[in-house]
Amino acid sequence: MCSDCNIEAVLEKKLERLVDGLSRTILDIHKKKLGFEGKRLSKEEYITLLGELKKSIEKFAGERIANEMYDDLMGFIENSAG
């Protein structure tokens, strides 16, 4: 089982609710910005990625939505990644 693939799918699905059709692009841009492009991410790297995504979400969707999404996804990452 590929737990990081599941994390990516959940991140993408959550983002999709906010950015119809752009979630994969947003994930890829943030991964590239952090130097995570093309690699299998560790739990710590997913947490870093999620922090960067939260900053972006705050800008266009507001702090409350960003915090809710962050908390939900952090719980998933904590339970999924080794």
Split into its structural domains, the chain has a count of: 1
Give, rounded to a whole angstrom, the gap between the first and last alpha carbons of the chain.
Answer: 12
Q: By residue range, what is the domain housing residue 60?
A: 3-79
Average pLDDT for 20-42: 92
What is the model's pTM?
A: 0.83
Query: Where residue 78 falls among pLDDT bands split at 50, 70, 90?
Result: confident
**What is the widest separation between alpha-carbon atoms in the chain?**
35
